[in-house]
């Protein structure tokens, strides 16, 4: 398959190497020093003590890469608007686009199952409707990433979760489809787990519950997920915070798995903290504002989450990383 990774940073570069080594014609939309290194020497992926190397096409201009059989967007929510401007040259008649990002995605209310509770206004996730205008519903595939990675040098990424590297995917209307089955098989063959899911939004919430609570707490403390979980001063705070997060997720999907303080906590800084420390735009809207909007729509009282949201927004604004 001709597969383009749009926004190939840490996660996208990891996937690009695996897909290329599985025999696919892989191209990457990337920029800066990372792009220069990949053009010169290809992409390197370190997993434990093992290193993999793959040659891929790379450009900061999607038009240079041509039509694809599949586009996987690994852009963060803060950069996904770039697809509205750059996606068209990559699209053939039937090219699907997997949107693999953290938080509530811009397309959440498109193809929504009829039994889903009414959603709040999420227009702030797609200002001006640019993505809706540029991307047909028929192309949209939801994606949820479970994989920890970091760029360790231009052209080189390290995978920090060798035991857990998943890209869960599903149609935006949750229907079974032949293309989802085929794409899952493609991912699995490349060493990217992609087990079947029946409701992609439930999977989105299952990851978001951690991001909207523990990851934001990591941002505020500057600590890893494990350090936050094990901090004695937070032993009475975290259970109340998680209760609120679980209530918000279960207001949309009663069967979504609850998160608890005793769950897995990697010795790893979540992406929202990494972005803050590196001075990059932060996914405040998708990870903080959107869950708040769902809580209000469900008439839920979430004082802990509201406090964290206010502190996170102020912290980001003080560094010039959030402007809304």
Q: State pLDDT tens for residues 90-130.
A: 999 999 999 999 999 999 999 998 889 989 999 999 999 99
When pLDDT is cut at 50, 70 and 90, the band that residue 266 belongs to is confident
Do 232 and 311 lie in one domain? The reply is yes
| CB contact burial 241-257 (16+ within 10 A = b; e otherwise) | bbebbbbbbbbbbeebe
What DSSP assignment string belongs to 236-262?
THHHHHHHHHHHHHHHH-TTSPPP-TT
Q: What pLDDT digit, counting tens, does each position of 3-42 carry?
A: 999 999 999 999 999 999 999 999 999 999 999 999 999 9
Coil/strand/helix, residue 103: coil
Counted domains in the chain: 2
- Report the alpha-carbon distance of residue 87 to residue 143 in Å, rounded: 17
Amino acid 268: pLDDT: 82
264 pLDDT more than 80:
no
DSSP assigned state of 91: B
What do you get for the CA distance between the two ends of the chain, in Å? 40
284 pLDDT more than 80:
yes
- Report the alpha-carbon distance of residue 73 to residue 135 in Å, rounded: 13
Domain boundary among 149, 166, 198: 198
Do 242 and 105 lie in one domain? The reply is no
- Report the alpha-carbon distance of residue 225 to residue 218 in Å, rounded: 6
Give the residue, 76 or 324, on which the prediction is more confident.
Answer: 76
287 pLDDT more than 90:
yes
DSSP assigned state of 104: S
Do 146 and 212 lie in one domain? The reply is no
In a domain, 300, yes or no: yes
Amino acid 114: pLDDT: 87
Q: Residue 139: which CATH number?
A: 3.40.50.720
Task: Verify whether residue 207 is a known catalytic residue.
Answer: yes
In a domain, 324, yes or no: no
Q: What pLDDT digit, counting tens, does each position of 221-260 carry?
A: 999 999 999 999 999 999 999 999 999 999 999 999 999 8
Amino acid 308: pLDDT: 95
Please pick, among 207, 257, 269, 315, the residue that the annotation labels catalytic.
Answer: 207
154 pLDDT more than 80:
yes
Amino acid 113: pLDDT: 87
In a domain, 323, yes or no: no
Token pair recorded at residue 263: 């769950």
Amino acid 146: pLDDT: 93
Do 238 and 147 lie in one domain? The reply is no
In a domain, 19, yes or no: yes
The range of the structural domain enclosing residue 290 comes to 203-318
263 pLDDT more than 90:
no
- Report the alpha-carbon distance of residue 279 to residue 8 in Å, rounded: 18
Distances in Å between the Cα of 4 and the Cα atoms of 1, 62, 77, 91 are 10, 9, 18, 10
């Amino acid at each position: 398959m001709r597969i383009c990774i749009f926004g190939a940073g840490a996660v996208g570069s990891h996937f690009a190497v695996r897909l290329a080594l599985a025999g696919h014609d892989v191209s990457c939309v990337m920029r800066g020093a990372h792009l220069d290194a990949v053009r010169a020497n290809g992409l390197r992926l370190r997993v434990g003590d093992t290193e993999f190397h793959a040659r891929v096409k790379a450009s900061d201009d999607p038009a240079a890469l041509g039509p694809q059989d599949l586009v996987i967007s690994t852009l963060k929510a803060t950069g996904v608007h770039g697809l509205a401007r750059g996606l068209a040259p990559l699209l053939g008649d039937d090219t699907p686009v997997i949107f693999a990002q953290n938080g509530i995605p811009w397309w959440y209310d498109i193809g929504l199952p009829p039994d889903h509770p009414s959603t709040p206004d999420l227009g702030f996730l797609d200002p001006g409707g640019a993505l809706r205008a540029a991307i047909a519903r028929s192309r949209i595939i939801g994606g949820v990433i479970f994989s920890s990675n970091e760029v360790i040098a231009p052209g080189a990424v390290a995978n920090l979760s060798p035991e857990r590297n998943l890209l869960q995917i599903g149609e935006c209307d949750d229907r079974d489809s032949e293309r989802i089955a085929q794409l899952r098989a493609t991912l699995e063959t490349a060493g990217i787990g992609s087990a079947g899911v029946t409701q992609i939004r439930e999977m989105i919430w299952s990851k978001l519950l951690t991001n909207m609570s523990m990851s934001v707490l990591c941002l505020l403390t500057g600590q890893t997920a494990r350090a936050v979980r094990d901090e004695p001063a937070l032993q009475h705070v975290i259970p109340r915070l998680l209760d609120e997060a679980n209530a918000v997720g279960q207001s949309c999907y009663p069967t979504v798995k609850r998160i608890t303080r005793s769950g897995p906590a990697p010795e790893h800084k979540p992406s929202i903290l990494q972005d803050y420390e590196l001075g990059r735009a932060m996914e405040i809207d998708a990870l903080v504002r959107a869950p708040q909007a769902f809580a209000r729509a469900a008439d839920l009282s979430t004082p802990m989450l509201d406090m964290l949201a206010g502190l996170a927004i102020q912290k980001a604004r003080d560094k010039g990383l959030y402007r809304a």
